[in-house]
Amino acid sequence: MGVRKRLYLGLLSATLLLFGGTIVYIWLTVFQRDGGLLRYFFAAAVIVVLFVLLIVGLGFAGIVLSIVSDRSFKVLDGPINFTVSILYPVVIRLGKLFKIAQDKIQRSFVEVNNQLVKARRGSMNPGRLLVLLPHCLQDRDCTNRITTNEKNCRRCGRCKVGDLLALGERYGVHVRIATGGTLAREAVKQLRPKAIVAVACERDLTSGILDCIPLPVLGVTNERPNGPCHNTTVRPEAVENAILFFLKGGNNYVTP
């Protein structure tokens, strides 16, 4: 298990301990002392929270088992998705408390997500796969608008967009270029893919992965030699590798 994955998993386990400790504190300081209706109110609250913690605990166990064994446990898919969705904001706030940069946590989250997706095997029809690209991959000085129609790209070689569109044509998968989450969600709603390969920065990848749950999303982090959102780039072979994972059932796949 890589160091980056351990960061997110460590914060996730710390979150579970925090909630567990809170329950014990409530039990010892409030439930045991107060009587009457307040006692029953706290008893009901503790039962509900314990039930949620049970689901979260199963989800955490599923995440760890999937990563360690490199295989999927379908019976735990629900708890895993619930755990990721519910606890991510808490993990980010806990990271701030420990003065851990948010982008490091997000990078770790993307790697954990990719490993979970990688644990799932099974090929699919190319027409059910969507490749989402950020508009910042396009050369900033280019006058051809490709967010409204990617076919406007002249494939001049000044950026990687032409190479990525060629990949989409070669494998017969859908490729869309989005300026943000709204256009990305519209593409998902319109095409109704079975899986997504997404290229973006850690922040946008994290947001997109959470928005798409339970849809499997493989995240490929872009490179930002000129800073964020300005003439970014990506290795086409990393995107191709992610495409082939879904089309060939994970054979010879390496997490991007």
Mean pLDDT estimate for the chain: 88
Which band of pLDDT confidence, cut at 50, 70 and 90, is reported for residue 219? very high
Q: Which of 98, 118, 138 is the last residue of a domain?
A: 118
Q: Which of 118, 134, 163 is the last residue of a domain?
A: 118
Query: Quick one: 211 and 184 in the same domain?
Result: yes
Query: Quick one: 19 and 132 in the same domain?
Result: no
**CATH at residue 219:** 3.40.50
Smallest Cα–Cα separation from 75: which of 86, 61, 89? 61
Query: Quick one: 88 and 134 in the same domain?
Result: no
Query: Quick one: 58 and 164 in the same domain?
Result: no
Q: Which of 85, 118, 151 is the last residue of a domain?
A: 118
Which band of pLDDT confidence, cut at 50, 70 and 90, is reported for residue 31? low
Which band of pLDDT confidence, cut at 50, 70 and 90, is reported for residue 40? confident
Q: What is the pLDDT of residues 53-65, one digit of tens each?
A: 899 999 999 999 9
What is the number of domains present in the chain? 2
pLDDT at 232 over 60: yes
Domain that holds residue 194: 126-248
Query: Quick one: 151 and 202 in the same domain?
Result: yes
Query: Quick one: 113 and 197 in the same domain?
Result: no
- Cα–Cα distance measured from residue 18 to residue 10, given in angstroms and rounded to the nearest whole number: 12
Asked, for residue 36, whether it belongs to a domain, the answer is: yes
- Cα–Cα distance measured from residue 144 to residue 227, given in angstroms and rounded to the nearest whole number: 22
Asked, for residue 101, whether it belongs to a domain, the answer is: yes
Range from 36-50, 70-84, 110-124 carrying the lowest mean pLDDT? 36-50
Smallest Cα–Cα separation from 199: which of 221, 182, 231, 216? 221
Asked, for residue 255, whether it belongs to a domain, the answer is: no
Structure tokens at 254: 């390496």
Range from 60-64, 76-80, 128-132, 247-251 carrying the lowest mean pLDDT? 247-251
- Cα–Cα distance measured from residue 225 to residue 159, given in angstroms and rounded to the nearest whole number: 13
Smallest Cα–Cα separation from 126: which of 91, 82, 170? 170
- Check: CB of residue 162 under 8 Å from CB of residue 155: yes
Asked, for residue 112, whether it belongs to a domain, the answer is: yes
Asked, for residue 253, whether it belongs to a domain, the answer is: no
Asked, for residue 256, whether it belongs to a domain, the answer is: no
